[in-house]
């Protein structure tokens, strides 16, 4: 150190003046000083010098990560039975369970306490235990989900110019958190288990059928043409209904639901689509061949809704109709309309 002899808890070195005759001994321990720049804010100085958080400060909707957050894990179980009925046809039935645990999610407002009750019976969380801290939401291991699904399948291996695979799944997914994606995924109150309901990923019924056929050689004009199709049909997915305001005063206006509705209480419209392909190989020379493919997605140009406006605009459900300006139940986004693609591919056999 410059302009100092040395300092320790025992004091200065006894022979410092003889070793460093031009250096004056210090009279006290070192003190940290800020040189230049603006002084620290009053709030910071109050906290550093007294340890007290100033009453005028407010964090305001803090969303912090739990320092002790743990790694999620899952339990899985499955059972499947298959039977070959002959002529290349197989039938199967299966069951799948998937339980996710320690899923990252948000807590309720940890700094809020109940100050009243809404007409629906839900608590009003208008008080703050530490007003100077503001709203406190934490990301931690609050989530859990359970999936149960039964699947029935029929399959025919491609032979004699035809093959197919069809499946039907009956399933249910329940959880208490869907994601950390946006503020609407925060719990409505402080009861995390009370948020357990159908997941936005719940598809109760799903049916798919793929079919592949090839025109036989006895039809000269179009022999070798391959036709394939994919049929997908799903029941509607759940959507959350929002009140549109912070009626329970927990500091998050995006999670309030009308009345006593549970999460994801709105049933969305079903999904259906048919994709179709025509393919044919054309010989060029020798072993070289060119494959021409025409793909048509959503052949019948069905409008399949992806997202819906579900802001009700009132705490009363269903007694008070939503304002027409909110467009409750109207689509906000849709899947792709019919699309046609032409592709070329080259094959060389050795």
- What pLDDT was estimated at residue 7? 41
Exposed, middle or buried by CB within 10 Å (0-12, 13-18, 19+), for 165? middle
Phi, psi dihedrals of residue 262, rounded to the nearest 5°? -85, 175
The pLDDT tens digits of the residues spanning 2-45 come to 344 444 444 455 555 555 555 555 554 445 454 555 565 665 56
Yes or no: say if 36 and 15 are a contact pair by the CB < 8 Å rule: no
- Write the Ramachandran bin of 215: left for phi over 0, alpha for psi from -120 to 50, otherwise beta: beta
When pLDDT is averaged across residues 291-320 and rounded to a whole number, the result is 94
Tokens of 189: 């109150």
Name the nearest CA neighbour of 132 among 78, 218, 60, 51: 60
Beta carbons of 258 and 316 less than 8 angstroms apart:
yes
**Distance of alpha carbon 124 from its chain centroid, rounded?**
28
Question: In whole numbers, what is the pLDDT of the chain averaged over residues?
Answer: 86
Tell me which residue has tokens 């997915």.
Answer: 237
pLDDT in tens, 92-109: 999 999 999 999 999 999
pLDDT tier at 186, thresholds 50, 70, 90: confident
Token pair 């288990």 in the structure block, residue: 193
């Amino acid at each position: 150190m410059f302009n100092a002899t040395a300092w320790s808890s025992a004091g200065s070195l006894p022979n410092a003046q003889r070793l460093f005759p031009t250096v004056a001994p210090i009279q006290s321990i070192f003190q940290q000083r800020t040189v230049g720049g603006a002084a620290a804010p009053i709030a910071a100085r109050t906290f550093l010098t007294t340890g007290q958080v100033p009453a005028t400060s407010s964090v305001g909707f803090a969303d912090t990560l739990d320092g002790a957050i743990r790694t999620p894990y899952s339990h899985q179980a499955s059972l499947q039975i298959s039977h070959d009925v002959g002529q290349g046809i197989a039938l199967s039935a299966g069951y799948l369970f998937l339980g996710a645990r320690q899923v990252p999610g948000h807590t309720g407002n940890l700094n809020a306490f109940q100050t009243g009750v809404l007409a629906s019976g839900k608590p009003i969380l208008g008080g703050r235990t530490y007003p100077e801290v503001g709203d406190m939401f934490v990301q931690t291991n609050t989530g859990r989900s359970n999936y149960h699904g039964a699947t029935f399948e029929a399959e025919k291996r491609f032979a004699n110019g035809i093959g197919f695979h069809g499946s039907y799944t009956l399933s249910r997914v329940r959880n208490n958190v869907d994601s950390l994606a946006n503020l609407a995924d925060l719990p409505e109150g402080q009861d995390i288990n009370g948020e357990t309901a159908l997941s936005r990923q719940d598809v109760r019924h799903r049916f798919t059928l793929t079919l592949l056929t090839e025109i036989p050689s006895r039809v000269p004009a179009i022999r070798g043409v391959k036709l394939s199709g994919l049929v997908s049909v799903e029941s509607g997915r759940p959507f959350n209904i929002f009140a549109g305001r912070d009626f329970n005063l927990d500091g998050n206006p995006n999670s309030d639901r009308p009345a006593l509705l549970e999460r994801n209480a709105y049933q969305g419209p079903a999904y259906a689509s048919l994709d179709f392909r025509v393919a044919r190989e054309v010989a060029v020379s020798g072993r070289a061949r060119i494959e021409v493919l025409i793909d048509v997605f959503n052949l019948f140009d069905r409008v399949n809704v992806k997202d819906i406006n579900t802001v009700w605009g009132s705490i009363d459900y269903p007694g008070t109709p939503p304002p027409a300006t909110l467009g409750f139940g109207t689509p906000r986004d849709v899947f792709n309309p019919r699309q046609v693609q032409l592709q070329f591919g080259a094959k060389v056999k050795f």
